[in-house]
């Protein structure tokens, strides 16, 4: 991957990461383990100034939610998972998520996967 991520750290509730092609702002709690994050909202700003969003979730987190909903009755008894700007990934962690976002930029799929935000 050609991106080199350089964490900028905390800015209020946002954890910001800068790369050569974008800035990613993750909305998480200050006490969360960055390597264990498995369900998070992110806003990404590309170098052209455009803003994009996604809810990134691991496969394991989706499975946990669906199992819980099977008992609670939500989502037709846990038979489906849906969110409007969902991106399902295999492994947890902010650094993994940044690598995936960078890969999406590199392979040209970024604008097909994330949701563009209006200014």
pLDDT digits 0-9 by tens, 56-97: 999 999 999 999 999 999 999 999 999 989 999 999 999 999
pLDDT digits 0-9 by tens, 9-22: 888 889 999 999 99
- Quick one: pLDDT at residue 4? 59
Contact 8, 22 (CB under 8 A): no
Higher pLDDT, 58 or 6: 58
- Quick one: pLDDT at residue 2? 42
Q: Considering the chain, what is the average pLDDT of its residues?
A: 92
CA distances from 85 to 30, 48, 54 (A): 24, 21, 5
């Amino acid at each position: 991957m050609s991106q080199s991520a350089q964490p900028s750290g905390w800015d209020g509730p946002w954890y910001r990461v800068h790369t050569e092609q974008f800035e990613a702002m993750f909305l998480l709690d200050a006490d969360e383990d960055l390597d264990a994050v498995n369900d998070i909202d992110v806003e990404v700003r590309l170098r052209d100034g455009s803003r994009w969003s996604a809810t990134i979730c691991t496969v394991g987190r989706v499975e946990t939610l669906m199992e819980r909903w099977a008992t609670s009755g939500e989502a037709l008894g846990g038979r489906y998972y849906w969110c409007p700007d969902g991106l399902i990934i295999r492994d947890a962690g902010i650094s993994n998520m940044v690598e995936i976002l960078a890969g999406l930029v590199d392979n040209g799929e970024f604008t097909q996967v994330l949701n563009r935000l209006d200014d």
